[in-house]
Amino acid sequence: MANGLPNPLLTAGAARSLVDSVDAFLFDCDGVIWKGDQLIEGVPETLDLLRKMGKKLVFVTNNSRKSRRQYSKKFRALGLEVTEEEIFTSSFAAAMFLKLNNFPPEKKVYVVGEDGILEELRLAGFECLGGPEDGKKNILLEANFYFEHDKSVGAVIVGLDQYFNYYKMQYASLCIRENPGCLFIATNRDPTGHMTSAQEWPGAGTMVAAVSCSVQKEPIVVGKPSSFLMDFLLKSFNLETSRMCMVGDRLDTDILFGQNTGCKTLLVLSGEKLLLLLFHMCRIILPIMPNQVSNAVWTCIAIAGVTTLSELQDASNTIHPDLYTNSIYDLVGLLQQ
């Protein structure tokens, strides 16, 4: 706690102390490394500096749309060299949860989600159905219509799904309600996410909530802030959680995940302070600005970080990071002072 405040701003001294006290940095991806397919300014320089300082870098994302292989490909497309072994996704966590809990090989998995979950399940040796293909299927609620489902489904995994529809919700619900012992697994419960660089979109939590409401049952959550991902990470790297720093833009997932597992925590606002200044300027100058200019300014405001400074400092907030800053690029400037 600095200056009596529960949320100390990252300073040059705090940055040096943080880097000296940890061996590994765990980075969230959406809103920290990129927004949609757009790399956030200064990310390559920051990651290069930390690697040169001998720090282990791990990327931990709740976004289940891609597998680890697919995320590695995305990193390369953005000019970042990151191996599959450095990536931990909620889609991978869901597959590993089943494997570590000896899910019966004769049982199938129904997926409300996208290719990332399907690929990780198949790599782990599980038979799965659902996914994007079921997004093309429709239901006609006619008299005496009976919906068939596979009785051999032993687990339903719900993640982010841009193809989510009524068909999938009914299929998942029937499996959970009617198949004895069927597991209900959620990759994560994020309410929103940076699916594009222009704005936030509904997150996996909205799909999970729909299925949960239908079956009147809470899911097993394998992504952040659950400690399951950390347990698996620790088996992969010889590291202590007290020597790790979790870096993210969400209080209720990233920062809570770090706190739950004993890591140091750094919240990034990813541009929110600058955008607050733009917002106050716009209140004065927008009436006299041409439409095309004002529209561009409002677009900038729309891409602010998930957690705002006002939310962080609100008296009702109970999740406080060890440090906060505007973006991870701030580390470069502060460490060079």
Contact 294, 286 (CB under 8 A): yes
The CA distance from 205 to 298, in Å, is 27
Considering only CA atoms, which of 220, 229, 307, 221 is closest in space to residue 261?
229
Report the length, in residues, of the chain: 337
Distances (CA, A) of 39 to 32, 76, 103, 217, 272: 9, 11, 38, 38, 16
Catalytic residue among 20, 23, 30, 48: 30
- Residue whose token pair is 């997150």: 203
Checking 4-8 for CB contacts under 8 A at 24+ apart, the result is: 6/320, 7/267, 7/312, 7/313, 7/320, 7/321, 7/324, 8/322, 8/323, 8/324
What's the CA gap between 179 and 314, in Å, rounded? 45
| Rounded CA separation 269/249 (Å) | 6
Q: Is 28 annotated as a binding residue?
A: yes
Catalytic residue among 20, 23, 28, 150: 28
Residue 181 DSSP label: T
Per the annotation, does 161 bind a ligand?
no
Is residue 30 among the annotated active site residues? Answer: yes
Does 30 count as an annotated binding residue?
yes
Q: State yes or no: is 28 an active-site residue.
A: yes
Contact yes or no for 79/44 (Cβ under 8 A): yes
Burial class (CB in 10 A: 0-12, 13-18, 19+), 193: buried
37 is in an annotated binding site: no
Q: Which residues are catalytic?
A: 28, 30
Residues placed in the known binding site for Mg(2+): 28, 30, 249
